[in-house]
Amino acid sequence: MQGSAPVVRALDNLNLRKSLDDLITLEALGTALKLAGILVLGLIVVRVAVAVTRRFSRKTLSPRTSELLVKFVRYTGFFLVAVNLANAAGLDLSALLGAAGIAGIAIGFAAQTSISNLISGIFLLTEKAYAVGDVLDVGGGTVGVVDSIDMLSVKLKTFDNRLVRIPNETLVKSNITNVTRYPIRRLNINITITYGDDIEKARRILLETADANPWILRSPNPIFIVEGFGESGINLFFGVWFTKDEFVDAKNSMYIEIKRRFDEEKVEFAFRTVTVYQKKG
């Protein structure tokens, strides 16, 4: 009996170890299944969220803005799935998050301008003040076609084929003129005629010129205003409407035809004159 005691103890230890191994195996299998479930379910949710975002954003946002929003939703979803996987696996994220917080503060101080541009870009996207293909006048002589709308900046292609990058923060603080936002525009023509000319005659010529021009719209009607008496002559304002795609043809043809009709009917453009007196003696 005494010789059999070590054998019994060895068998008990073996059974205990086997039970522990079975328990560990079952626990590991359960954890693996849980992780697989979180991964599969998370990816499905992210895919659905991306599809819904893409569907609704395309109806209200420009293609570029829609794609940026879809990317944001996708990467945010992946991040949340990764965090849930780490929690399910029993990983302690407190140290990692603490280090990430310190690093985030340091990066935040170093990237204040980028963050400001990012936030400004979000505000601009929600306002929908312009889209790719619009012509913007941002002041300072910078006019161009919107080539791309990014989270940090907007890129304009000028009419002399140069690329201008404008930070979003600058756009938020500036007065932006969207030249092509609406389908029709008005061409403003300022004319000064001499005091010896007939205002009604000039008005008739301008209206006839607009009526005969194929690029000028009949509705809305042209606008004729006598603005006042200037130093050199009578200041007139004449406004005509055209579709935004016909800007060059409409403007060139109107100016050329007005000059030709004024010359034919002897209506003179006034210009500033200077009289010089010479002192005698």
Cβ neighbours, 10 Å, residue 267: 20
Q: Does the pLDDT at position 145 exceed 60?
A: yes
Residue 97 lies in a domain: no
Q: Are 13 and 78 in a shared domain?
A: yes
CATH label of the domain that carries residue 229: 3.30.70.100
Query: How large a percentage of the chain has pLDDT more than 90?
Result: 35
- pTM of this structure: 0.57
Q: 222, 215, 224, 219: which is closest to 242 by C-alpha? A: 215
pLDDT one-digit tens code per residue, 222-237:
999 999 998 889 999 9
Cβ-proximal residues to 187 (8 Å cutoff; 6+ apart), any chain:
239, 240, 241, 242, 247, 250, 251, 254
Residue 58 lies in a domain: yes
CA distances from 4 to 1, 9, 17, 130, 211 (A): 5, 9, 20, 91, 121
Please state, rounded to an integer, the average pLDDT across all residues of the chain: 80
CATH label of the domain that carries residue 147: 2.30.30.60
Angle at 69 between CA 66 and CA 70, to 5 degrees: 85
- Residue 83 burial by CB count (10 A; 0-12/13-18/19+): exposed, middle or buried? middle
Higher-confidence position of 180 and 12 = 180
- Which of 39, 65, 91 is the last residue in one of the domains? 91
- Which of 72, 91, 110 is the last residue in one of the domains? 91
Q: Are 80 and 9 in a shared domain?
A: yes
Q: Are 155 and 208 in a shared domain?
A: no
Among 3-17, 47-61, 245-259, the range scoring the smallest mean pLDDT is 3-17
| pLDDT, position 11 | 47
- Write out the residue range of the structural domain in which residue 25 sits: 4-91
Query: How large a percentage of the chain has pLDDT more than 70?
Result: 73
Residue 279 lies in a domain: no
| pLDDT, position 111 | 53
Q: Are 258 and 204 in a shared domain?
A: yes
Residue 148 lies in a domain: yes
Q: Does the pLDDT at position 171 exceed 80?
A: yes
Q: Does the pLDDT at position 216 exceed 90?
A: yes
Cβ neighbours, 10 Å, residue 162: 10
Residue 164 lies in a domain: yes
Domains identified in the chain, total number:
3
- Residue 157 burial by CB count (10 A; 0-12/13-18/19+): exposed, middle or buried? middle
Distance in angstroms (rounded) separating the CA atoms of residues 42 and 40: 5
Residue 162 lies in a domain: yes
- Which of 42, 72, 91 is the last residue in one of the domains? 91
Q: Are 256 and 190 in a shared domain?
A: yes
Among 64-78, 93-107, 221-235, 259-273, the range scoring the smallest mean pLDDT is 93-107
What's the mean pLDDT in 54-79? Answer: 75
